[in-house]
Amino acid sequence: MRSMNRSNVENHAEDGHYWISISDLMTSLLFIFILILAYTIFTFSQKSEAYEENFKNRQQLLEELQIELKKKHIDVDIDPQNGNMRLRSDAFFALGSADLSTVGKSKISIIAQEIANKMKDTRYKKAIDTIFIEGHTDNVPFDSFRGGRRWTNMELSAQRAINTFLAMNASAGIGSLKNGSNRYLFSYSGYAEQRPIASNDSINGRKQNRRIEFFFALASHKVQ
């Protein structure tokens, strides 16, 4: 009888140690979870603050560019919320051509110098990750033969973006500019009629859609 009681006591004691171990494990896991959650909230807060700061700096950059270019008789449309600066391509290229006109080269040179000067400012250099030079067309099929084949609106828009970059680089050396993370700042692409900003059902709408657009992409984090 005594032997049985002793065995029961030992088993009960072992059970108690087992449950204490489980309790300690759950407490440790909960503590780790709280630490991870706190770190996540802290990191998210930092990224949100960095985004807000970069957003405000980009908005100021675009507004300053518009003012400075207007002084030099170059009108640009800006969208500070989305980070776009737009130029009517008809003022820079002949209809259906990817070659900058003489006036177009002169204006692009001025724009390049203004952007290059602004990007020397530490605030803007840290706020902007990439400046995309984008070519856009209307939806009228491009009817031209080059190199023995018919070109498309996509090729026209891409070549206009490339030629804009080349002209800007020749006048202001933008190809060597880097962002706050020490990566090259400029890129270029063509979208043809895929991203209209107005209806292609009217002459004025098609004019608006034929454009060169600069998209100032925000840095996703705060650059030290």
The predicted pLDDT at position 19 comes to 55
**Which alpha helices (H) appear in 72-130, and where do they start and end?**
102-118, 122-127
Query: Please, which pLDDT band fits residue 2 given cuts at 50, 70 and 90?
Result: very low
Q: Compute the Cα dihedral for 116, 120, 126, 127 and give only its sign.
A: negative
Using one digit for the tens of pLDDT, what is the confidence trace for 135-187? 999 999 876 665 556 789 999 999 999 999 999 999 999 999 999 999 999 99
Helix (H) or strand (E) holding 82: none
153, 161, 156: which is closest to 131 by C-alpha?
161
Q: Tell me: the pLDDT tens digits for 174-214?
A: 999 999 999 999 999 999 999 999 999 999 999 999 999 99
Q: What's the CA gap between 110 and 132, in Å, rounded?
A: 18
The answer to whether 207 and 76 are in contact (CB under 8 A) is: no
Strand pairing class (128-136; 186-190): parallel
Reported pTM: 0.77
Least confident interval from 34-48, 58-72, 91-105, 117-131? 34-48
Whether 4 shows a pLDDT value over 80: the answer reads no
In the chain the domains, ranked by start, together with CATH numbers, are 55-218 (3.30.1330.60)
